[in-house]
């Protein structure tokens, strides 16, 4: 699976496309009020990526275990102390509503997904990022 993200930004225009293999989608993120750049920052998107990954993986793995999940709430937070420094203290909380399943089954699912979530493990292992000119 090949995943890509592209942003084309200019004064008063912010066009964003994400793609997984041949599945292409556009995302509407307004530009900054002053005209250049995005109205949300990369740190916010990074933490959203973690929340989205965990949410989607919970539903996927729950279905594989024949669990009926009614809802998932994931909140991710982290500290970006200064410009030019990476995030620290990234943490997340999860709330899963699956009334037909015991708290232990739900907890086991959460723990399993924490161990296999792809975006989480990418950060945990420290992915190499290369600028191509």
Domain of residue 46, CATH code:
3.30.300.20
27 inside domain: yes
Task: State whether 61 and 21 are in the same domain.
Answer: no
Task: State whether 1 and 32 are in the same domain.
Answer: yes
Task: State whether 59 and 1 are in the same domain.
Answer: no
* Percent of the chain at pLDDT exceeding 90: 95
Q: What is the pLDDT of residue 98?
A: 97
Task: State whether 54 and 116 are in the same domain.
Answer: yes
pLDDT digits (tens, 9 = 90+) for 75-117: 999 999 999 999 999 999 999 999 999 999 999 999 999 999 9
133 inside domain: no
Tell me the pTM: 0.93
d(CA 17, CA 53): 18
DSSP 109: H
Q: What is the pLDDT of residue 76?
A: 98
d(CA 108, CA 16): 36
> Residue 88's domain spans which residues?
41-126
Task: State whether 34 and 45 are in the same domain.
Answer: no
d(CA 68, CA 50): 22
Which stretches within the chain are classed as H helix? 42-64, 103-116, 118-125
């Amino acid at each position: 699976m090949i995943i890509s993200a592209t942003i084309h930004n200019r004064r008063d225009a912010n066009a964003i496309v994400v793609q997984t293999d041949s599945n292409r989608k556009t995302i509407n993120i307004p530009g900054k009020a002053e005209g250049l750049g995005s109205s949300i920052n990369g740190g916010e998107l990074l933490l959203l990526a973690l929340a989205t990954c965990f949410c989607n993986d919970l539903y996927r793995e729950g279905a594989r275990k024949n669990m009926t999940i009614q809802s998932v709430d994931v909140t991710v937070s982290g500290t970006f102390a200064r410009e030019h420094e990476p995030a620290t203290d990234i943490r997340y909380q999860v709330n899963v509503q699956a009334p037909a399943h015991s708290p232990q089954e739900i907890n086991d699912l959460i723990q399993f997904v924490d161990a296999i979530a792809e975006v989480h493990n990418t950060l945990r292992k420290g992915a190499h990022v290369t600028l191509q000119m």
